[in-house]
Amino acid sequence: MVLTNILEKNAKEHGNRTALVMKMGYRTVSLSYGDVYEWSKRVAVFLERQGLQREDKVLLLAPNSPYWICLWWGSILGGYVPVPLNIQSTSELVRKIAEQTGAKVVFKYLHYKQPLPSNLSVFDAEFLNEIVSKSEGANFRKPPIKEKDVAELMYTSGTTGDPKGVILTHKNISSNLEAILKIAPIAETDKFLSILPLSHIFEQVIGFLLPYAKGAPIVYAHSPAAIRDLLREHRITTMAAVPEFLRVVMMKIEAQAQEGGKKKMLEILMKISGAMKLKLLQRILMRPILKKFGGRFHTVISGGAPLDPELEKKWNALGVYLLQGYGLTETSPVVSSNSYEDQRVGSVGKILPGVEVKIAPDGEILVKGANIFQGYFQNKEKTKEVFIADGPSTALGASWFKTGDIGELDKEGFLYLKGRKKYMIKGPGAQNVYPEDIELELNKIPEVKDSCVVGVEKSGGQVEIHAVLLGDIKDPEKIITRVNKKLSSYQNIAGWSIWPREDFPRSATRKVKKEEVLRWLKASKIPTPPTLVGTPLTRLLSEITGHDVSGISQKTKIVSELNLDSLLRVELVSRIEEGLGITVDEAKISSETTVLDLEEMIKKSPDGRSPVGRQEPTQKAPPFKNWPLTRRASLGRMLTQILIIFPLARIFAKLKIEGKDRLENLPLPAIFMPNHVSFLDSLFLLMALPLKIRRKIAFAAAEDVLYEQYKNIAWLVELFFNAFPFPRHEHENIKAGLEYMGRLLDKNWSIAVYPEGKMSMTRELLPLKRGAGLVGVEMDSYIVPVKISGTADIMPAGKIMPRKGGQVSVKFGKPIKFKKSDSYIEVTRKLEGVLKEL
Amino acid sequence: MDIKVGCDLVHIGHFKQSMKRGGRGFLYKIFTQAELAGASKPENLAGIFAAKEAVIKALGKVLKLKAGDWKKIEIIKKRNGRPEVQLHEFNDKILSRDVSISHDKEYAMAVVVFILT
């Protein structure tokens, strides 16, 4: 099957259903199957205009997002070949790949600022809707695509040595997809959360194509910190994860139980649950924990690295199906997997239907099937190395692919992995020693955060089993002795070291890069465990300023003595923010500031994560109120407005409306920005709006005015004008106000906000607040400038009682849509200009 | 009438290092989205940073701009390629302004001039 069938079928059968969701900035982007198809067509047209020819490569160097998906589909739809790259790729790697593939185009992300080859056309994925807005989907002409055509090029690991591009055809991937669907029924009521990078085949097939093919929506996590909330908010049912993630989450669950004094109870519950056979009963028992995940979470598919059987049992005991699978990029990717029907703890499951597996005499797993890749791109040598025969040939029947993993099949057909062939160490009596087994034992010790066991060649040809430990290890010898007791004598660890950095070098799937660790070992003559010097703060200062850690004391003046110039100061502050989630005011760092002063600043600072690097608030975010948006409240509001308030207003004033025709085809929700001269402005704006918009509009009310000065009637205003708190001063929680606004817009409510930030006493337009530009750019909606005049005559600024009658005029200006790439300051000025002209 | 001038020199290599180590947070602290979208190479960003520093030096005392107010200053490239300084406040005090940015292999520099009322 050609993969694009999935794209077209879903667009046709349920084009309106939500396919992809992601919070981007303050708004949630939600694309339906129809939208994705439309955008993909536009991407294809856009790429054609860029001069791409059939099978030309398109580099994708961006993080997960609905836009990534459209770029991927669009490239394939147009007959081009997407090359998904890990976003942490160095510019050197990108250069090599660009050269090898002859790519002309790269889609990167906004803050990837590393140099890219100058012959590439570079686009930012975040601005996709603007990039393709000029391309007409109707102009798309579908090229003939066959199953055997190349679908994509996947580059596997290789920051060292030369990257290898795995060629995958439509048939490779679709055959795997079909086989997986046979053993893992996905329903369209399922909801997937995507946390692993789409540049990895595991997430692509399991976390994207699998749910997409079945019409199950996918939510993309916009930040690791948001995962828990997303699971709950969207009531996620399924996700693909790596063992590292599962380990961390389980640790958090246990830590929370510990804090609440419920650790013992949790252990007992898990024990009982583990003994139960029925998943349903388990879920009832573990309900309080499952509720934290949204209550509907039922399946995790684990892959990418070996899963500790103890961890597997714990997750299963939670009432969740933890299905471990096995495969490689070269096998599209699944070779075997546990399923709802057939599960064995510690095994990677039964072989997938349609895939053949044979165990070589030395234990290596060999695979044959429609899912085997076509070879490494322009690398016949490396391709030959991994096949038994001269490469994948269909004429004589496909050859066997050498996975490089050692394993065995039991009588029932379950596959068990022993370890990676190249990491295997030969014991003193030629036994096979799998470092993975030793690492498993080492990692069980609480002090050991992680471990890496390698075979180090000694003089005389002997290989020493050497363990590199990660963590704050006080007595490594004791640990090694303890673990050695649990291992067979030929597995015993002979030498050990402690990794001197905060973490091992890792791959995209968080696997430890053993080659690099081995290289480090060989380089340092005597692996003496160097303990980390200084405190995290002094180490950070040392890294940034280049001064030796031992020379930095608490009395050291960071600016004058360490040469911390303004550039390094920004780096320091932003790294403290990212590392600790704590904001430090740059302005407070002067030439006299010492390390001790800095430590004090950090301790006293309010805790708060600002993922986009904006200033943090001192107040809490106001809770989102749903009740004013309900049908009942809306109805009550509308009736009161029509029956009481509006007629009353008409006694005092005649209303003249101009520019109402401009609102006729206005895409909703929209944001109205009027000038502000009287408290009556909101009332007359409401009266002037057409019913369609009036029904669903919320007013941004100055927090300090409404909720403090007039807090007694605040609830009234909230009800009749559907007001929500919005800060207007720099020190207030602006971000929270914007998040609130974004949520209202997501629910299709239009907004009215006064960009001046306060009432003008003089009827002259006041300079607009910076937030006006921000709202214009970030909220992804049309802005309608409004000129209100006459209200100040009836009820002057600041007064709450009308003085006399008069005429009020409400004039709607031309709606403007700004681009995400526009400057906030420029937008603010433009709006100011437009309002003045009205 | 008052003339204020400011200038700054940035070592591009150091800037690139800080960029790499500081990551997203670093970039977002200093530059607005429009500036990031408009700059194709780190050299450009280094030049914009130098321009912002120059502005702070020139107007710091007058406008009470303090460290950390990076995004209150925006350097926009006009269609003819010339950069322009945009401030979100105090524009009424400024009669005229101009900025010039340059970079060579290792350094980026910027000079700004403001004429105040």
d(CA A734, CA A748): 21
pLDDT at A825: 80
Answer whether A189's CB lies under 8 Å from A235's CB.
no
Question: Which chain A residues touch B35 with a CB distance below 8 Å?
Answer: 823
In chain A, whose CA is at the least distance from the CA of B49?
A567
* In chain A, % of residues over pLDDT 90: 34
pLDDT at A526: 45
- Cα angle A421-A424-A429, degrees, rounded to a multiple of 5: 130
Q: Which of A126, A565, A567 to mutate to test the interface with B (most CBs of B within 10 A)?
A: A567
The alpha helices in A416-565, defined as continuous H runs, are: 435-443, 476-486, 514-523, 536-545
Is pLDDT at B14 greater than 60 in this prediction?
A: yes
Is B86 near chain A, with CB under 8 Å? yes
d(CA A341, CA B70): 58
Size of interface A-B (CB pairs under 8 A): 113
State which amino acid sits at residue A807.
Answer: Q
Average pLDDT over residues A463-468: 87
Is A612 near chain B, with CB under 8 Å? yes
| Nearest of A34, A31, A28 to residue A9 by alpha carbon | A34
ipTM of the complex: 0.82
In chain A, whose CA is at the least distance from the CA of B35?
A823
Question: Which chain A residues touch B26 with a CB distance below 8 Å?
Answer: 570-571, 574-575
CB contact under 8 A, B68 and A124: no
The alpha helices in A546-680, defined as continuous H runs, are: 566-580, 595-604, 631-640, 646-652
Answer whether B94's CB lies under 8 Å from B114's CB.
yes
What's the number of CA atoms in the CB half-sphere (13 Å) around residue A553?
1
pLDDT in tens, A570-589: 888 888 877 666 777 777 88
pLDDT at A611: 37
**Token representation of residue A251:** 């640790």
d(CA B17, CA A568): 10
State which amino acid sits at residue A430.
Answer: A
d(CA A544, CA A142): 53
pLDDT at A318: 87
pLDDT in tens, A491-550: 888 888 888 888 888 776 677 888 888 888 877 654 444 455 677 788 788 888 888 777
d(CA A167, CA A153): 5
Higher-confidence residue of A358 and A612: namely A358
Query: Does an H or E element contain B10, and which?
Result: strand B2-11
| Nearest of A133, A95, A89 to residue A109 by alpha carbon | A89
Average pLDDT over residues A348-365: 92
Phi, psi of A369 (to 5 degrees): 160, 175
Phi, psi of A817 (to 5 degrees): -115, 125
The alpha helices in A626-674, defined as continuous H runs, are: 631-640, 646-652
Poorest-pLDDT segment among A13-17, A408-412, A495-499, A641-645: A641-645
- Cα angle A481-A483-A484, degrees, rounded to a multiple of 5: 65
B37 closest CB neighbour out of A544, A585, A821: A821
d(CA A305, CA A489): 26
Which residues numbered 32-51 in B keep a CB inside 8 Å of some CB on A? 32-42, 45, 49
**Token representation of residue A728:** 């207007």
Is A570 near chain B, with CB under 8 Å? yes
Pairing outcome for strands B83-87 and B73-77: antiparallel
d(CA A50, CA A28): 30
Q: A392 falls in which pLDDT band (50, 70, 90)?
A: low
Average pLDDT over residues A375-403: 76
Instruction: State chain A's mean pLDDT as an integer.
Output: 85
Average pLDDT over residues A186-190: 91
**Token representation of residue A737:** 């106000």
Average pLDDT over residues A654-668: 90
pLDDT in tens, A192-226: 999 999 999 999 999 999 999 999 999 999 888 88
**Token representation of residue A793:** 């005559």
Answer whether A116's CB lies under 8 Å from A108's CB.
yes
Residue range A4-182 forms a domain whose CATH class is: alpha beta
Average pLDDT over residues A478-493: 86
Q: Domain A438-523 maps to which CATH number in 3.30.300.30, 3.90.226.10, 3.40.50.11030, 3.40.50.620?
A: 3.30.300.30
pLDDT at A608: 41
Residue A201, number of CB atoms within 10 A of its CB: 26
Average pLDDT over residues A324-344: 92
In chain A, whose CA is at the least distance from the CA of B54?
A566
State the DSSP code for A144. Answer: P
d(CA A395, CA A732): 71
DSSP bridge partners of A415: A409
A571 closest CB neighbour out of B18, B35, B92: B18
Is pLDDT at A599 greater than 90 in this prediction?
A: no
| Residue B22: domain span | 2-116
Fold agreement (A242-419, A536-604): no
In chain B, whose CA is at the least distance from the CA of A610?
B25
User: Is there a cis peptide before residue A392, judged by omega within 30 degrees of 0?
Assistant: no
Alpha-carbon Rg for chain A in angstroms: 31
Is pLDDT at A461 greater than 80 in this prediction?
A: no
Residue B70, number of CB atoms within 10 A of its CB: 23
**Token representation of residue B111:** 């000079």
Q: Which of B8, B15, B28 to mutate to test the interface with A (most CBs of A within 10 A)?
A: B28
Higher-confidence residue of A490 and A328: namely A328
Question: Which chain B residues touch A127 with a CB distance below 8 Å?
Answer: 37
Architecture of the A242-419 domain: 3-Layer(aba) Sandwich (3.40)
d(CA A400, CA A369): 9
Longest Cα separation, chain B: 43
Is A574 near chain B, with CB under 8 Å? yes
User: How many structural domains does chain B have?
Assistant: 1
Answer whether A768's CB lies under 8 Å from A753's CB.
no
Poorest-pLDDT segment among A43-47, A288-292, A301-305, B64-68: B64-68
Higher-confidence residue of B7 and A130: namely B7
| Best-predicted range by mean pLDDT (A29-33, A644-648, A764-768) | A29-33
Pairing outcome for strands A671-674 and A750-752: parallel
CB contact under 8 A, B22 and A571: yes
d(CA A125, CA B37): 11
Compute CA distances A535 → A83, A446, A476, A628, A647, whole Å.
42, 22, 21, 51, 70
Q: How near does any CA of chain B get to the CA of A280, in Å?
A: 44
| Nearest of B3, B5, B40 to residue B110 by alpha carbon | B5
Query: Locate tokens 């709202």: which residue?
Result: A775
Answer whether A85's CB lies under 8 Å from A94's CB.
yes
Question: Which chain A residues touch B87 with a CB distance below 8 Å?
Answer: 825
Is pLDDT at A654 greater than 60 in this prediction?
A: yes
Answer whether A809's CB lies under 8 Å from A790's CB.
yes
Q: For residue A435, with 0-12 CB atoms within 10 Å meaning exposed, 13-18 middle and 19 or more buried, which class applies? A: buried
d(CA A288, CA A23): 27
Q: A161 falls in which pLDDT band (50, 70, 90)?
A: low
B28 closest CB neighbour out of A613, A820, A821: A613
Query: Does an H or E element contain A725, and which?
Result: strand A723-726
Is pLDDT at A693 greater than 60 in this prediction?
A: yes
Q: How near does any CA of chain A get to the CA of B93, in Å?
A: 13
* In chain A, % of residues over pLDDT 70: 92
CB contact under 8 A, A570 and B18: yes
Q: How near does any CA of chain A get to the CA of B46, in Å?
A: 10
Contacts (Cβ under 8 Å, ≥6 apart) of A586: A569, A570, A573, B66, B67, B68
A823 closest CB neighbour out of B22, B45, B74: B74
Strand order in the sheet with B107-116: B2-11, B107-116, B94-103
Q: How near does any CA of chain B get to the CA of A557, in Å?
A: 18
Q: A74 falls in which pLDDT band (50, 70, 90)?
A: very high
CATH of domain A627-837: 3.40.1130.10
Q: How near does any CA of chain B get to the CA of A233, in Å?
A: 26
pLDDT in tens, A600-633: 888 776 554 333 333 444 455 667 777 777 888 8
Query: Locate tokens 């995004």: which residue?
Result: B71
Answer whether A58's CB lies under 8 Å from A66's CB.
no
Answer whether A190's CB lies under 8 Å from A220's CB.
no
Is pLDDT at A25 greater than 80 in this prediction?
A: yes
State the DSSP code for A726. Answer: E
pLDDT at A532: 56
User: In this structure, what CATH number is given to the domain that contains residue B45?
Assistant: 3.90.470.20
Domains in chain A: boundaries: 4-182, 242-419, 438-523, 536-604, 627-837
CB contact under 8 A, B27 and A124: no
Q: Which of B14, B20, B26, B49 to mutate to test the interface with A (most CBs of A within 10 A)?
A: B26
**Token representation of residue B75:** 């350097």
Q: A158 falls in which pLDDT band (50, 70, 90)?
A: low
CATH of domain A536-604: 1.10.1200.10
